[in-house]
Amino acid sequence: MNRPSWRRLLATVAPGAFWLVVFSLLPTLLILYASFLQRGPHGWLSGPLTLVNYARFFGISSSGFDPLYLNILGRSFLLGIVTTVAVVLLGYPFAFFIARSRHKNLLLLLVVLPFWTNFLIRVYAWIVIFQRRGVLNALLTYLHLPTLHLYPSWTAVYVGTIYTYLPFLILPLYASVEKVDWTLLEAAYDLGAGRVRGFWHAIFPQTLPGLVAGVLLVFIPALGTFVISDLLGAGKAILIGNVIQQQFGGSRDWAFGSAAAFVLMALVLLGLWLYARRAGESGMGELL
Amino acid sequence: MSGRRLLTLHGVLVLLFLYLPIAVIVVLSFNASKYGVQWHGFTLKWYAALLGHARIHGYVTNSLIIATSSTLIATVLGTLLALGIHRYRFFGRGGLLFLLYVPVVIPDIVMGVSLLLFFAWAQNYLRALHLGLGTVIVAHVTFQIAYVTLVVKSRLAGLDPSLEEAAADLGATSWRRFWKVTFPLVWPGIAAAALLAFTLSLDDFVITFFTAGPGSTTLPIYIYSSVKRGVTPEVHAVSTLMILVTTMALLGVQRASNRR
């Protein structure tokens, strides 16, 4: 890497950097600014600067503590955590299944395909499966089992979220599993380790970079989802994403919506900052 | 059961889980029944109905206009960014990388509403950027740039620097060096990045949802509003066609990135 002349630097980096500053950095700063304003007379924002939106979000008011939005945030975290655990349970062995298979490329393609199939179509498909006269109940009736009412429900939201983000874990995890040095496991056996201890000390640490990247790629979007809860919960499953969407849509309180969006972004960036401090530039690269 | 067979059983079950919803949609698109999931025989009438469905044609056109223009802009800007970031060390490089990663990692709803707020603000104070095709294109470029830059950057990182040095030793100017040496080597990476950007744009719902105005409805927006109102079988046919297009694009990306 060398010291560039200004001309070359301007020709390569400047247009893209300008774009990102105007359309990424500036809007983010606007969200932060708007979160300290209030709804004006015509639905637009107006001053003076205030903390009421954050006070409302954290439930602090003159009439006491009301954890409405904190509960919703907690529900989003719960969804994020349960989804991440479920996806790891499903995806971790699957990454090994791909790595040890003779048809690696085919299996990888089979994982990537649903990942690239339009997200709305996949979410909608779960409605078709779970609805009262849907695929699942047709199967249950055929088997002479009692039918289930899973649409709309939190169960449907959880299944939809787990389904949507499963490939996000498998792909980065597979990249780590593929590079595993199996001779370490043999060495562990030679040193007298059992199967569990051998795996835990010789194999698991090698898969950690992919696992951590995958967990972040599942947890962050699951935390912010509004489409899955909107469609599979039919408006009854409210997450932080739904709060933001409602404030920028029907309720039209952009100031409060901005505060909610900023809280979500701050939490995500805090987590990423902690991750980046450990993993560095190459580690951030694993996320993509 | 041995560990190996257990692993295979688990793998097959995961694959079934991954493909069940997709299979449901594809099968329904050929189902003669208009309502419910009972099989009433094979038909192509929903595909035929699509041909006469003028509104859907408009949505497809919008999706394609947005995907094509945003991909062109993002590919040029992203490739240039990747070149600059790869070659030079400069003040603000770390900040620029951070700015690149942010759209990739923050929840897309946050990016959607911040762009909506930005466009509304520009409309209020600058009388520019009214919500429509233009704002959707700008929004798409903003998330595509990151992916393009990162894909091209990783391709550049895999290049042998001695090739450029050899060209320099033989007296090639930096412009010539770029077109005759670097560009042909990076080209497959750029093509893969462009296809990736195109697919991301075609598929995007959340960011389009917040930045689209009247008259810029895309296919995913149409599918969303159909799901909310009640789906007609044409939506299954459209979805199946979209799955087909994505599959083709994906195979294209794989071929482009495998070429060395």
Q: What percent of chain A has pLDDT over 70?
A: 94
Q: What is the pLDDT of residue B173?
A: 79
Decide if B247 touches A, using CB distance below 8 A: yes
The verdict on B10 and B99 lying in the same domain is no
Decide if A244 touches B, using CB distance below 8 A: yes
Decide if A109 touches B, using CB distance below 8 A: yes
Instruction: Map residue B31 onto helix, strand or coil.
Output: strand
Shortest Cα–Cα distance, B54 to chain A (Å): 21
Decide if A218 touches B, using CB distance below 8 A: no
Residue A144 lies in a domain: yes
Q: Which phi and psi angles does A65 have, rounded to 5°?
A: -95, 125
Contact B77, B145 (CB under 8 A): yes
Q: What is the pLDDT of residue A287?
A: 54
Contacts of B118 in chain A (CB under 8 A): 23, 26-27, 30
Decide if A248 touches B, using CB distance below 8 A: yes
Q: What is the pLDDT of residue A238?
A: 92
Q: What is the pLDDT of residue B230?
A: 78
Q: What is the pLDDT of residue B19?
A: 93
Residue A60 lies in a domain: no
Q: Is A175 exposed, middle or buried (CB count within 10 Å of its CB: 0-12, 13-18, 19+)? A: middle
Q: Tell me: pLDDT of A90 over 50.
A: yes
The verdict on A9 and A140 lying in the same domain is no
Residue A182 lies in a domain: yes
The tally of domains found in chain B comes to 2
Verify whether the Cβ–Cβ distance B25 to A113 is below 8 Å.
no
CB count in 10 Å sphere of residue B156: 19
Instruction: Map residue A2 onto helix, strand or coil.
Output: strand
Decide if B33 touches A, using CB distance below 8 A: no
Q: What is the pLDDT of residue A1?
A: 47
Q: Give the residue numbers spanning the domain of A182.
A: 68-286
Decide if B19 touches A, using CB distance below 8 A: yes
Contacts of A254 in chain B (CB under 8 A): 117, 120
Verify whether the Cβ–Cβ distance B242 to A96 is below 8 Å.
no
pLDDT class of A286 with cuts at 50, 70, 90: low
Token pair, residue B38, equals: 């009972």
The verdict on A202 and A118 lying in the same domain is yes
B25: nearest CB among A125, A261, A288: A125
The verdict on A15 and A74 lying in the same domain is no
Rounded distance between C-alpha atoms, residue A130 and residue A136, angstroms: 6
The verdict on B7 and B25 lying in the same domain is yes
Q: What percent of chain A has pLDDT over 90?
A: 41
The tally of domains found in chain A comes to 2
Instruction: Give me the residue label for tokens 């951030």.
Output: A284
Q: What is the pLDDT of residue B136?
A: 96
Q: Kindly give, in sequence order, each residue whose CB lies less than 8 Å from that of residue B178, ignoring residues fewer than 6 positions away.
A: none
Q: Within chain B, how many helices (H) and strands (E) appear?
A: 12, 0
The tens digit of pLDDT for each residue in B180-239 reads: 888 888 888 898 889 889 888 988 999 999 999 888 899 899 989 888 887 778 888 988
Indicate which of B106, B123, B203, B255 best probes the interface with A, i.e. most A CBs within 10 Å of its own CB: B106
The verdict on B123 and B137 lying in the same domain is yes
Q: b or e along A53-84 (b: 16 or more beta carbons within 10 Å of the residue's beta carbon)?
A: bbebbbeeeeeeeeeebeebbebbbebbeebb
Q: Kindly give, in sequence order, each residue whose CB lies less than 8 Å from that of residue B203, ignoring residues fewer than 6 positions away.
A: A116, A118, A119, B220, B246
The verdict on A5 and A121 lying in the same domain is no
Q: Is B32 exposed, middle or buried (CB count within 10 Å of its CB: 0-12, 13-18, 19+)? A: middle
Verify whether the Cβ–Cβ distance B107 to A221 is below 8 Å.
yes
Rounded distance between C-alpha atoms, residue B114 and residue B96, angstroms: 19
The tens digit of pLDDT for each residue in B172-186 reads: 777 788 788 888 888
The verdict on B35 and B8 lying in the same domain is yes
Shortest Cα–Cα distance, A67 to chain B (Å): 22
The verdict on B152 and B251 lying in the same domain is yes
What ipTM did this prediction achieve?
0.86
Q: Kindly give, in sequence order, each residue whose CB lies less than 8 Å from that of residue A262, ignoring residues fewer than 6 positions away.
A: A31, A32, A35
The verdict on B14 and B117 lying in the same domain is no
Indicate which of A5, A76, A120, A252 best probes the interface with B, i.e. most B CBs within 10 Å of its own CB: A120
The verdict on A173 and A277 lying in the same domain is yes
Mean pLDDT of A160-180: 91
Q: What is the pLDDT of residue A83?
A: 96
The verdict on A121 and A257 lying in the same domain is yes
The verdict on B31 and B97 lying in the same domain is no
The verdict on A126 and A196 lying in the same domain is yes
The verdict on B168 and B202 lying in the same domain is yes
B118: nearest CB among A26, A94, A133: A26
pLDDT class of A77 with cuts at 50, 70, 90: very high
Decide if A108 touches B, using CB distance below 8 A: no
Q: Is the pTM of this model over 0.80?
A: yes
Q: What percent of chain B has pLDDT over 70?
A: 97
Verify whether the Cβ–Cβ distance A24 to B103 is below 8 Å.
yes
Mean pLDDT of A84-90: 96
The tens digit of pLDDT for each residue in A218-245 reads: 999 999 999 999 999 987 889 999 999 9
The tens digit of pLDDT for each residue in A252-279 reads: 889 999 999 999 999 998 888 887 777 6
pLDDT class of A4 with cuts at 50, 70, 90: low
Q: Give the residue numbers spanning the domain of B4.
A: 1-43
Residue A40 lies in a domain: no
Decide if A2 touches B, using CB distance below 8 A: yes
The verdict on A5 and A80 lying in the same domain is no
Rounded distance between C-alpha atoms, residue A200 and residue A205, angstroms: 7
Residue B38, phi-psi category: left (phi > 0), alpha (psi -120 to 50), beta (remainder): beta
Mean pLDDT by 10 residues, chain B (260 residues): 83 94 91 80 87 86 94 95 87 86 86 94 83 92 92 85 81 80 86 87 92 88 87 85 82 68
Q: Residue A2 pairs with which residues in a beta bridge?
A: B88
